[in-house]
Amino acid sequence: MDKNELVSRAKAYIEAEKDEGFRKEVEALIADADKNAAELEDRFYRSLEFGTGGLRGVIGGGTNRMNTYVINNATQGLANYFIKTFPDKAAKGGLKAVVAFDSRRYSDVFAEATALIFAANGFTTYLFTSLRPTPELSFAIRTLGCDTGVVVTASHNPPQYNGYKAYWNDGAQVIEPHDAGIINEVNAVTSVKTISRNEAIKSGKLILIDKEVDEKYWAMCKEQLFRPDLIKEKAGEVKIVYTPLHGTGAMHVEKVLGDLGLKVITVPEQREPDGTFHTVEKPNPEEAPALKMAVELAEKEKADVVMATDPDADRFGSAVPGKDGKYVLITGNQMGVLLTDYIITSRKELGKMPENPAMIRSIVTSPMVDRIAKANGVYLSECLTGFKWIANDMATFEKSGDHNYIFGFEESYGYNVETAVRDKDGVSAAAMCAEMTLYWRSKGKSLLERLQELYTTYGYFQDVSISKNFPGASGVDTMKAIMADLRTKNLTVLGGKKVEKIRDVQQSVLFDPAKPEAKETIKLPKSNVLQFFLEGGTVVSARPSGTEPKIKFYINSTVSSANGLDAAKAEADKLCGAIKQTIDDLLSAAK
């Protein structure tokens, strides 16, 4: 994009932006456009688009940044879409929205701007007065009977990011065709309606909320548990160290687990909300450095389990002590496997297994749960990455009546043990993990020991993820080229293993690379994902992130445990290493 067009876009943005700080950022850049050409291009080469998690971007001035201009346009477009989709309800003033926000910089500002635009467009709008988790926003939509909801959060991203997740009336994030429809409305916005806070409250269009939703949400989280009597009896035997990573989780996790009688020691340095996340590089419970302070406190307190939630408390991470007393991080796939096993075991033991039970996992999540589900007569549904797709399958089950949902998860530390929330829920996952820990403890086992038993029964699984970042406008083109190259290579071998099948979700096909002309049609919605199914059961997946400028590769390896777990682990290490090397070689060649 040439300099003149960039400057023209920047000036148009300055005219429209209401926030003085964001305006000044851009004014300073165009004052010396030649020197700042690369930065201007990054800020204005595109407008932020809805990805797997809605809007997400770096905070700052520009159309490719998170700011009041982008928030206002997104909200007006979202309001317009609902008004056009439900015209009779809109005409009667019956549309409702609810807005929540996390601890990030500008989250409260963006949330209030969102709420006031909804109110100005005739929506009865509920706004939490202080930060609340993403799963509570989903719960609030259903509890309050809202048509839509928004939570301002960038989840586990670094502190320079913020985001905006838009939800449908079922409490799930927006999916196709509504996402495309909303984008069209956003792009067509020429003016934004708004109203003052005082006027909105006086007119009844803005209603401030807190405990009326909090208390119902806490009760729901506790109602999902299977063994309240066991918790009451044994709660004193388990000590939990918890970190909310400066986010929204402390109030809820401490309340729910505390009500159950469990002792929760929260990392004091990370308990208070702080959008700079100053004690960690990234507030991501998927990564070991984020749990460092919690693990250190757990070692001091001799805790039985470490728990962590990300800033909007939808993701849940954990660690437990091994036999040597050193804490072992449990991966997202491993926790999903443990919860799958525990939920199925509990439902069977207590006679609570519904007819035609079903669980859902994303296509890049470990297929180990497939084996557990099959062995227990539970239907396993695969869906695209992003919890909105798990929620979509959940809704499909309810509409058809063919299956009854019991659990859903994805490898990126997202779990859902309930139907009242249509998103991942770190708070209810923490409660279920606590109960699971107590249950296996009552059987004389740790979570790690139960995991080893599952590996012995179902085979050893090892999961590796690789992320390669490609920032800026050129990065988008590079990622497209890499995915195109992977498609045209038609790989027949990966890491020394034969590729038996390739699933190209973008092209909606499954085929044997040795016979590429014989293609089967798959039913998944189109998405830029390639999967390679190797001999022996290992799956390798490639997909560009929907929210960040990177390509992710997932290795879900499996080997037989017939010769013992040590031998299986050594074989899996070797296999994953070989596949990783192949991926590195392919990326180097693509550059």
Coil vs helix vs strand at 42: helix
In this structure, what DSSP letter does residue 361 have?
A: E
Distance CA(508)–CA(515), nearest Å, equals: 17
- List the structure tokens of 507: 């092209």
Report all structural domains of the chain as residue ranges with CATH numbers, in order of start.
1-45 (no CATH), 49-209 (3.40.120.10), 217-322 (3.40.120.10), 333-458 (3.40.120.10), 460-590 (3.30.310.50)
| pLDDT over 80 at 49, yes or no | no
pLDDT in tens, 53-89: 578 999 999 999 999 999 999 999 999 999 999 999 9
**CA distances to 220, 297, 438 from 347, in Å:** 18, 34, 16
DSSP H or E run through 559: strand 550-559
pLDDT score at 131: 97
Which pair of structure tokens corresponds to residue 191?
Answer: 């003016």
For residue 43, pLDDT beyond 60: yes
Contacts of 171 by beta carbon, 8 Å cutoff, 6+ apart: 138, 139, 141, 142, 149, 391, 421, 422, 423
User: Is the CB of residue 421 less than 8 Å from the CB of residue 359?
Assistant: no
Classify the phi-psi angles of 555: left when phi > 0, otherwise alpha if psi is within -120 to 50, otherwise beta: beta
Residues 6 or more apart whose CB falls under 8 angstroms from that of 107 comprise 101, 131, 152, 153, 162, 275
Mean pLDDT for 104-132 is 98
Given a cut of 70, whether residue 251 has pLDDT beyond it is yes
Q: What average pLDDT score do residues 314-326 get?
A: 95
Task: State both tokens at 148.
Answer: 């839509």
State the CB neighbour count (10 A cutoff) for residue 516: 11
Are 96 and 124 within 8 A, CB to CB? yes
Tell me what pLDDT residue 475 has: 82
pLDDT at 547: 62
Average model confidence (pLDDT) for the chain? Answer: 94
> Residue type for 210, please?
D
* The predicted structure's pLDDT at residue 180: 85
* 125 backbone dihedrals φ, ψ, rounded to 5°: -120, 125
Report the 3 state secondary structure along 64-126. CCECHHHHHHHHHHHHHHHHHHCHHHHHCCCCEEEEEECCCCCHHHHHHHHHHHHHHCCCEEE
Residue 50 — pLDDT band, cuts 50, 70, 90?
A: low
Q: Which residue has the higher pLDDT, 182 or 207?
A: 207
Residue 124: beta bridge partners? 96
Non-local (6+) Cβ contacts of 400 within 8 A are none
Pairing of strands 305-309, 493-494: unpaired
Among candidate residues 107, 155, 346, 412, the one labeled active-site is 155
Lowest mean pLDDT among 42-56, 172-186, 269-283: 42-56
CA separation, residue 522 to residues 96, 400, 485, 509 (Å)? 37, 20, 22, 5
User: Which two structure tokens, joined as six digits, stand for 390?
Assistant: 């798990």
Element containing residue 550 per DSSP (H, E): strand 550-559
Neighbours of 258 (CB within 10 A): 12
Please give the share of the chain, as a percent, with pLDDT higher than 70.
98
- With a CB cutoff of 8 Å and minimum separation 6, the contacts of 554 are 364, 411, 463, 464, 465, 466, 539, 540, 541, 542, 543
Q: Extract the tokens encoding 511.
A: 């085929």
591 has pLDDT over 60: no
Rounded to whole angstroms, the Cα distance separating 434 from 258 reads: 11
pLDDT over threshold 70, residue 222: yes
Could you tell me the pTM of the whole model? Answer: 0.94
Specify the pLDDT at position 516. 87
CA atoms lying within 13 Å on the CB side of residue 331:
14
Structure tokens at 187: 């792009």
Give the integer Cα–Cα distance in Å for 148 and 134. Answer: 14
> pLDDT grade, residue 118 (50/70/90)?
very high
Cβ–Cβ under 8 Å, residues 475 and 467: no
Is residue 155 flagged as an active site residue? yes
Residue 357 has pLDDT above 90, yes or no: yes
Q: Is pLDDT above 90 for 169?
A: yes
Provide the pLDDT confidence category of residue 550 given band limits of 50, 70 and 90: confident
Give CA separation, 443 vs 2, 6, 226, 321, 353, in Å. Answer: 68, 65, 16, 17, 21
Those residues whose C-beta lies under 8 Å from the C-beta of residue 430, and which sit 6 or more positions away, are: 242, 253, 256, 257, 307, 309, 316
- What is the C-alpha separation between 199 and 552, in angstroms, rounded? 47
For the four alpha carbons of 465, 54, 381 and 336, in that order, the dihedral sign comes to positive
Q: What does the alpha-carbon distance between residue 304 and residue 147 come to, in Å, rounded to a whole number?
A: 42
Spell out a b/e string for 1-39, using b for 16 or more CB atoms within 10 Å of the CB, else e: eeeeebbebbeebbeebebeebbebbeebbeeeeebbeb
Q: Does residue 540 surpass a pLDDT of 60?
A: yes
Locus of tokens 């308990």: 271
